[in-house]
Amino acid sequence: MRPLDRKLLRDLWRIKGQAIAIGAVIAVGVLLLVMMTGLVTSLDETRRTYYERYRLADVFAPLTRAPDRVMTELAAIPGVAAAEGRVAGGALIDLPGADLPLQAQAVSLPDFGAPRVNDVYLTDGRRLDPDRADEILLLTSFARAQGLRPGDTLSATMKGARRTFRVVGLAQSPEFLYTTPPGELAPDDARFGVIWMSRTALAAAYDMEGAFNEALLSLGPRANAAAVRAAVDRLLAPYGGQGAYGLEDHVSNRFVSEEIAGLRTTTTVVPPIFLAVAAFLLTIVISRMVQAEREQIGLLKAFGYSNLAVTVHYFKMILAIATAGALAGCLLGVAAGRSMVEFYLTFFKFPFLVFQTDPAAFVLGVLVSVLAASAGGLVVLRGVFALTPATAMRPPTPPNYARAGRIAAGLGAWLDQPSRMVLRRITRQPGRMAGAVVGIAAGLALCAGLLSILDSFNRVMDITFDLADRSDVTVTFVEAQGDKTILELQRLPGVIAVEPMRVVPAVLRHGLNTYRGAVHGLVGAPRLNRALDQDSRPIRLREEGVILAVALADILEIAPGDALTVDVREGRQPLLDLPVIGIAETLVGAPAYMEIGALNRALREPHRVSGAVLRIDTASGPAIYRTLKDMPAVAGVSLKAQARDAVQSLIDSGAGAQRFVMAGLAFVITFGVVYNAARIAQAERTRDIASLRVLGFTRGEAAFVLLGELAVVTLAALPLGLALGALLATGLAEGFSTDLYQIPALYSARACGVAVLAVLTAALASGWLVKRDLDRVDLVSALKTRE
């Protein structure tokens, strides 16, 4: 082994604590990059493969009723590769021991053979026997949540009639990757299921013999999707067509796409921040390490080593630390990505999901780490190489303490000698101190910003389920009912208050922007289900216009005073032009609100309701649920407590779960930054501290000279770190927000306090480790420095 290589090994062992800390910081940044880019790749590729393999439709066209012969005309539309007509409708599943009816979607399958579009993946049991009208396939996630298996029986109400079915198989479908109870946004496997039946059996249940109420179309590679949808709408208009829409507006696919898009946005924002902090820290550390070995570099040059040989030697050290940290980050990123995949397998109903790494993430992580370290080394080495060996071996010119001396003289009455030494150290090298301050501030900002995001998610839950929704139960009807139904609900024993609502599906347009959603009709001064302004105060709904959620306003690029086009997709399907009169700070979903009377008048359907929210006496709950279960007009009943649990699970899974991972990693970076600052200061001043000991300073006084510097730098970093944390919290809130939920940019005092406490704890721990090493220093060895 060559001498320089032996020196390299000795140097790495000597600074092993710093090397490990630097490597950990690098590993954290690379870990996030590898994990998050891999998750985006895995979800996107798995979704694409699943859709292709099971032939998910490109166009969905719900309608009231059309004869089967119309499918021939739909299949003949230019660009259509395959077409399938089916029967679909809502159902209520009644399980023994369950007070609440469980909501389900019933979907038909061809009597013979696999469907040309929207096939199913059988996970257990067998397919349907067309000769047995009572056989069904059940959504796997629902069956497992309820403990159902092939061979079990269940009762379900379809179009007012209760029927008994036998489960013969469990299935999944790309159409139902994301399943939510009607009227809710969060999935709940135990409260919503999908039933597949043979076409003949389901058509008989819904009076659809020889007809269908939903058309599915698959398009060719060169098809004009907009032209196909327009042609479908023209053909189905006489049959109550509700407007064809593409895969991008399909409920399940939209939520999956939103999750992937949110994850992709987070990937482009968060890992670069971590890598930038790691690169900055690495540059400072390497620069100061090389500067501290100035005399050794001069000695090597005096022995005949060329500038190139010395450069290669130090670059080997840089590469060893940076590459080890980057490789560790790659391995940990793969492990973390594989564990995160389990979240998504539960969150989305993929039959398989294998974590796929993105090679570009490995390359980028290693390159950024190595290049950042190399840049720091080059800056200092260039200045050292310009010196002759004799000059390089000589200690640097003593700094000018004149300015510091004047400051110290002014504070002499309050500062003792060790304190004045700390002050001189800080004032003589302001650039170096500023670098340490910025490094610690960056770590503090990461902690504060990510902890604020945790508080922001909690704020979403509080506003949505404590301030906006103050009901206990939400009841939805099969179709819009007369308002006398509200009187029937009010007469139920145990019902304290009832508020009607009307939810109308519609396509909302403003300029070139469209959104397929719904208009929510509420009473003028709601008390149970309220729209809130940005100050969390209830908004009184006026009769002359519509109020949009802030997320919907952003999507449509619309502001109060603008006109909103509402293309209603039920009943007479009128086209309404309504003024926007306000913006609501709705954090879950993207609804539009309107006074229910004004909405009914615009639809020319007075005194109609599609649901109600109830405040009930908890003790009367089971009796109320049983009564609602037997009401034929009721399509579903959901409890706010269950909906809250589902939303909490939603934001704690998928991309939301990564906030916990990143918060933990931010603490690792914070400790690494502070620890390195302390270790570098120790390496630079070991000889000075030994000299003070020889001159008669106690161990405590000598350690104070070093640790006082760390304390001043840490305290100076706190206000800067908190300011940077506020900016980071705002950016992270935007990155985490999706159509599903919007995260407010909440910069809480609790998050700031915890982040400051973390930095101070890291500083105390680092100071203790440094002082322990200082107490063990051999004074004679420390003073034997070649000059």
What is the chain's Cα-based Rg? 34
Q: Is the pLDDT of residue 286 over 70?
A: no
Q: What is the pLDDT of residue 427?
A: 73
Per the structure, how many domains does the chain have? 2
Tens of pLDDT, residue by residue over 531-545, are: 888 778 888 888 788
Strand segments (E) across 220-334 = 245-246
Question: Residue 79, exposed/middle/buried by CB under 10 A (0-12, 13-18, 19+)?
Answer: middle
Q: Is the pLDDT of residue 85 over 80?
A: yes
CA atoms 731, 736, 739, 741: torsion sign: negative
Q: What is the pLDDT of residue 759?
A: 85
Q: Is the pLDDT of residue 597 over 80?
A: yes
Residue 775 parent element (H or E): helix 749-775
Helix, strand or coil, per DSSP, at residue 198: strand
Tens of pLDDT, residue by residue over 132-174, are: 889 999 999 999 989 999 999 998 888 878 889 999 999 999 9
β-strands 546-549, 245-246 pairing: unpaired
Amino acid at 596: I
Q: Is the pLDDT of residue 406 over 60?
A: no
Q: Is residue 110 part of a domain?
A: yes
Q: Is residue 178 part of a domain?
A: yes
Q: What is the pLDDT of residue 712?
A: 84
Q: Which residues contact 610 (CB under 8 A, 6 or more apart)?
A: 476, 477, 479, 480, 481, 501, 502, 503, 504
Lowest-confidence segment of 266-280, 330-344, 744-758 by average pLDDT: 266-280
Q: What is the pLDDT of residue 190?
A: 84
Q: What is the pLDDT of residue 75?
A: 94
Q: Distance between CA 105 and CA 390 in Å, rounded?
A: 85
Mean pLDDT in residue range 180-208 = 86
pLDDT greater at residue 666 or residue 317:
317
Q: Is residue 137 part of a domain?
A: yes
Nearest-10 crossing angle of helices 359-385, 307-347: 150
Tens of pLDDT, residue by residue over 252-264, are: 898 888 878 877 8
Q: Is residue 114 part of a domain?
A: yes
C-alpha torsion angle, residues 199, 205, 206, 211 (rounded to 10)? 30
Q: Is residue 239 part of a domain?
A: yes
Q: Is the pLDDT of residue 404 over 80?
A: no
Full residue range of the structural domain in which residue 137 is found: 54-254
Q: Is the pLDDT of residue 121 over 90?
A: yes
pLDDT greater at residue 511 or residue 695:
511
- Note whether 347 and 187 are within 8 A (CB): yes
pLDDT band at 373 (very low <50, low <70, confident <90, very high): low
Residues in the chain: 787
Last residue within a domain, chosen from 616, 651, 686: 651
Lowest-confidence segment of 14-23, 182-191, 271-280, 375-384 by average pLDDT: 375-384
Last residue within a domain, chosen from 651, 672, 698: 651
Q: Is residue 302 part of a domain?
A: no
Mean pLDDT in residue range 207-229 = 93
Structure tokens at 229: 């949808």
pLDDT greater at residue 502 or residue 100:
502
Q: Is the pLDDT of residue 324 over 50?
A: yes
Q: Is residue 755 part of a domain?
A: no
- Note whether 207 and 81 are within 8 A (CB): no
Helix, strand or coil, per DSSP, at residue 633: coil
β-strands 575-584, 563-568 pairing: antiparallel
Q: Is residue 750 part of a domain?
A: no
- Note whether 181 and 45 are within 8 A (CB): no
DSSP H helical segments within 386-483, as ranges? 389-393, 402-410, 417-428, 430-462
Q: What is the pLDDT of residue 106?
A: 94
Q: Distance between CA 536 and CA 552 in Å, rounded?
A: 18
pLDDT greater at residue 547 or residue 464:
547
Strand segments (E) across 493-552 = 495-510, 513-522, 546-549
Q: What is the pLDDT of residue 80?
A: 94
Helix, strand or coil, per DSSP, at residue 60: strand
Tens of pLDDT, residue by residue over 630-668, are: 787 888 888 888 888 877 776 666 555 555 666 666 677
Q: Which residues contact 259 (CB under 8 A, 6 or more apart)?
A: 43, 347, 348, 654, 655, 738, 740
Amino acid at 696: G
Lowest-confidence segment of 431-435, 598-602, 737-741 by average pLDDT: 737-741
pLDDT greater at residue 3 or residue 78:
78
CA angle 756, 686, 780 (to 5 degrees): 150
Q: How far is CA 132 from CA 22, 121, 138, 197, 608, in A?
A: 67, 21, 16, 10, 40
Mean pLDDT in residue range 656-684 = 69
Nearest-10 crossing angle of helices 3-14, 16-53: 90
Q: φ and ψ at 302, to 5 degrees?
A: -65, -30
Q: What is the pLDDT of residue 787?
A: 42
Mean residue pLDDT across the chain: 82
Last residue within a domain, chosen from 209, 235, 254: 254
Mean pLDDT in residue range 218-241 = 92
Mean pLDDT in residue range 358-363 = 83
Q: Is the pLDDT of residue 201 over 90?
A: yes
Q: What percent of the chain has pLDDT over 70?
A: 87
pLDDT greater at residue 445 or residue 499:
499
Q: What percent of the chain has pLDDT over 90?
A: 25
Q: Is the pLDDT of residue 396 over 50?
A: yes
Q: Distance between CA 625 and CA 609 in Å, rounded?
A: 20
Tens of pLDDT, residue by residue over 577-589, are: 999 998 888 877 7
